[in-house]
Structures are given as structure tokens and as C-alpha cells.
Amino acid sequence: MSITKKNAEIQANNIVKQVLEDNIYLSKVLEGIKAKEDTIRYANAIALEILSEKNPEIIYSKWNFFVKLLKSKNAYHKSIAISTISNLTQIDRKKKFEEIFEQLFKLIDDKSVLVSRKLAIYAGRIAKAKPELITKITNVLLSINETQHNTSRKDLIKGDIVVSLSEYFEEIKEKKKILQFVQAQLNSSSPSTVKKAREFLSKWEK
């Protein structure tokens, strides 16, 4: 049985409301994202995204749960871990993220393009929360050509990277290098990446 995005969002909002009223329901959410049934997994994944972004303090105590998910053989589970951990960096005063930086960012070279794209998409959010890591994050993103992905997949990921770079471009010191990378995407095989590059350059190229 499938579920529409609209219905999943309705269910997710109900789940979020339950957790906010009594966080004992959080354990059900963590079970739900691993469920085999699409209807359960999808709604709980959306609920977790909402909670980790808007109420990260509720999720932070489960940090190790998501770190373990990063090692999963299931690409969907790894993707959920990436988005959740990225959202939690905004309140990571204990600097737990720094301990798993390498573990997380090596997923830019994951065999699943779903996982690599998820990391590229959320990298900008991490950079905003952890400005002291901007250089390291940027270096990983710009090393995309060194990954195992084929050319068409790399071109898709580069589009996500362009969007992330735009999120924290003002804080980047070596802007020329970034502009050169983005300008190169104007010749991408991916129409969506070309569009993202044009939008970036329209905003930042002066």
C-alpha cells in the first residue's frame, strides 16, 4: 500500500504533535523510520525531519542512534541519519559532530547516489551551524570529481553542491575557487545543475 505525500505530511504532523506532548512517543518514531511498510516509514521520516529541524533539543539525546545509522547498508537509513545529524548541528554545543566529521563526509563517495546527494544537500546547513569547519566541508564538496560516481551522477551531485555553497558563500574566504567551480557547471550534462549554476552566479557573481 502506497501513501501520498499529502497524507504522509498529515500523519507526520500528528506524530510531531504526539512527541511534543509526550516525548515517550519518540521511540515509536525511531522504530517507524525502520519499518518495512512505506506508509509508516514515510510519515515517520517526515516527522523526524520536522522535529530535528524545529525542536532539535528533543532529538539530540538520540545522537548515537543516528551515528549508528550512518553505518547501515540501507541507503534510506543513511540518508535519514545525514539529514537528522545535519539538523542537530545547530545545537551541538558538546561538539559531537566534530568526532564524526570524517565518517559523515566520506559518504560523498557512497555507492548510492541517494546518500551522496543527501550529504551534498545538507552540507550547507552544517557549514552554517559549524563555521569553523567551512574549509574542510568545502574541500570535500569540491573533491566530487575524485569519487567513484559516473559522470552523470557527479553532474547531479554537483547541482546539489552548488546550492549548498550558495548557503554559506558569504562566509567562504576563497570565493574565486568557488566561482570557478560553479562556472564550470554551466557546461553540465544535467539541465537542473546548469539552472542551479546560473541562479548561483546571478546572485553572487559581481
Q: Please return the burial class of 154, using the count of CB atoms within 10 Å of its CB with bins 0-12, 13-18 and 19+.
A: buried
The average pLDDT across 168-188 equals 97
Q: What DSSP letter does each residue of 7-53 carry, written as one string? A: HHHHHHHHHHHHHHH-GGGHHHHHHHTT-SSHHHHHHHHHHHHHHHH
Look up the pTM and report it: 0.95
Taking only the tens place, the pLDDT of each residue in 23-75 is: 999 999 999 999 999 889 999 999 999 999 999 999 999 999 999 999 999 99
**Distance (Å, rounded) from C-alpha 154 to C-alpha 96?**
30
Instruction: For residue 157, give Cα distances in angstroms to 9, 109, 118, 151, 153.
Output: 26, 11, 9, 10, 6
Mean pLDDT for the chain overall? 96
Q: How confident is the model at residue 185 (pLDDT cuts 50, 70, 90)?
A: very high
Integer Cα distance of 118 and 69 in angstroms = 14
User: Given a cut of 90, is residue 206 above it in pLDDT?
Assistant: no
The residue to which cell 552544517 is assigned: 126
The domains located in the chain, with CATH, are 55-204 (1.25.10.10)
- pLDDT tens by residue, 98-144: 999 999 999 999 999 999 999 999 999 999 999 999 999 999 999 99
**Residues making up the chain, counted from first to last:** 206
Position 1 pLDDT exceeds 60: no
Question: 10 Å Cβ neighbour count for 194?
Answer: 17
